[in-house]
Copies of this chain bind each other. A is one copy, B any other.
């Protein structure tokens, strides 16, 4: 996530430089053909192009809106992880009780294991979601910025979860096809054992089971956003339309400007660049926001969220030696 109010000039330059150059070169080429090579039939009326532009603006607006909804849904899901992690911990601490088989001290250790396994779960899911899918393999200025500027890297999954789990358990889980799914499975069976030991009443076991269900729901929704891109038939044509529009714009502008006089024709170049660039940026902003788990600058800041959850939960356990919050590095927080 970009965490400053305004984008820096460098950021915009990187973003804008290449298409501006392409549009300028193209418009210059068209204008030269018209003006220098004298191909006067290249001039087109602008009103039909205006109709085309309006239709394209509709379509790009629709894509922008849908992409934003995907991003916002992803952010809400990680917000839900924060909320439900707090609730889960509070319930683990207040719904379990010592029994004949398990004294207060032993129960406390079980509670610690359960909370640590939950922290492992959250981090495991984060790493799983940050793996690349095929439809993301494309030169992307937003991703390039992250790679260059920030020290966040996809940590090794096994190493990460070993921080919070017993080594054997971590390795057993690591070998499952979807590790996060099986961590939750483990939480559930741990609670069954505590139920069998008399430490949790049926009703409270089921209440905790509903939180596990909620975690499966949030996880599945994240996996859906990750695994099901904005439908390609919609996304692809949006880009095609913008490039087609940019392709005919100089012809229409040459036509419109030549009406005003010879000298105006060269204004085709800045106007063409300006309008094409606005449409392209609209398209690109939507396009780069549609996948919020791709190590790009528009990502949901999962690393920071995971750390915040860890801090809250370990404070609830009464621990002292707790790592600090994660702050933005050069305005980017992951």
Chain A residues packing against B (C-beta within 8 Å): 1-7, 12, 40-41, 43-62, 64-66, 68, 71, 75-76, 79-80, 82-84, 86-87, 90-91, 93-95, 97, 134-138, 142, 176-178, 181-182, 184-185, 188-189, 191-192, 196, 201-204, 206-207, 209, 212-213, 216-217, 219-221, 223-224, 228, 231-234, 236-237, 240-241, 244, 248-249, 252-253, 255-257, 259-261, 263-264, 267, 271, 274-275, 278-279, 281-282, 285, 288-289, 297-298, 301, 311-312, 315-316, 325
Contacts and interface: CB of A to CB of B under 8 A. Distances in A.
A177 B200 CA distance: 30
A59 B61 contact: yes
A29 B234 CA distance: 32
Contact of A177 (B45, B56, B188, B311): B311
Given A58-B58, A136-B5, A177 B241 contact: no
9 contacts: A2-B232, A44-B264, A45-B46, A45-B260, A48-B271, A54-B54, A80-B217, A90-B188, A233-B289
B191 A94 contact: yes
A277 to B, nearest CB: 9
B5 A233 contact: no
A68 B231 contact: yes
A165 to B, nearest CB: 18
Given A204-B202, A241-B278, A44 B232 contact: no
